[in-house]
Amino acid sequence: MLSEMLADDPAVTHIAVVHCETTTGILNDIESVGRVAKSCGKKFIVDAMSSFGGISLYMDDLDIDFLISSANKCIEGVPGFAFVIAKRAELAECGGRARSLSLDLYSQWKTMEEHRGKWRFTSPTHVVVAFAEAMRELKEEGGVVARNMRYTANRDMLIRGMEELGFRALLPDELRSPVITSFLYPEGVGFDFTDFYESLKRDGYVIYPGKLSERNTFRIGNIGDIREEQITGLLAAVERYVKRLENEAPSLCA
């Protein structure tokens, strides 16, 4: 279908795809999208904000022209800057095209190339230092493959535990990323997200509300410096909430 759409609209020059979409936690098939983009002669842009550093991907193998990510997320640094990995030839073509002073990627690159890594404007020094430390920790953990294994183990343990407590994951297994997991609201048990959220927060755990327009969901992150101990603690907090509901309404598992 994508190839047909591109054939019908020759004005399209670039194809952009989000690798891990965090509204649902879905992991999109960027390989297939990229293959179509390249077969149609289009530039290929990958938004890897929520996946880079936690899911293996190779620029050359996927023929990605521009990849965008962030200092935090799976890198486990702190928020403060984004970065782009690009083919030099494609980046060079961007010169003079920016419609924003601060978001002029080409000028930022040229400044760093010509002034030994200098930022065009005031650099977020503390974020850069945190980023360097985060990259060191990523290497010590065993790189992206090892980190992906930990995130995946977090997700699988979380889903098993939540299912035992009567919750159901939104996505089927083949679409789930190891980054964040969406769960459906349980039905017919008097579940109230605000009450649930505040209950977990009192126990030291903060989760995300859902963002879907047609399904009531909430999301739980699997990334960061999170290990089996934290997942176990979270599940215990969820169980305490469920037991309280059981005293007030029919069982979640009924």
State the DSSP H helix or E strand holding residue 26, giving kind and residue range, or none if neither.
Answer: strand 26-27
CB atoms within 10 A of CB 251: 11
pLDDT of 251 over the 60 cut: no
Report residue 132 as tokens. Answer: 């360097």
pLDDT band at 249 (very low <50, low <70, confident <90, very high): low
pLDDT at 190: 80
pLDDT at 1: 79
Q: 2-141: which CATH number, 3.40.50.2000, 3.40.50.10140, 3.40.50.920, 3.40.640.10? A: 3.40.640.10
Q: Give yes or no for a contact between 208 and 221, defined as CB atoms under 8 angstroms apart.
A: yes
pLDDT at 101: 92
Kindly state the average pLDDT of the residues 229-252: 86
Instruction: Identify the residue with better confidence: 10 or 48.
Output: 48
pTM, two decimals, is 0.91
Report residue 144 as tokens. Answer: 């992206």
pLDDT at 5: 86
Task: List, as one string, the DSSP characters of 134-192.
Answer: HHHHHHHHTHHHHHHHHHHHHHHHHHHHHHHTT-EESS-GGGB-SSEEEEEPPSSS---
pLDDT at 250: 52
pLDDT of 116 over the 60 cut: yes
pLDDT of 189 over the 90 cut: no
Nearest one of 2, 53, 3, 55 to 26, comparing CA atoms: 55
pLDDT of 67 over the 80 cut: yes
Domain boundary assignment for the chain = 2-141, 143-248
pLDDT at 135: 97
Q: Which CATH class is domain 143-248?
A: alpha beta
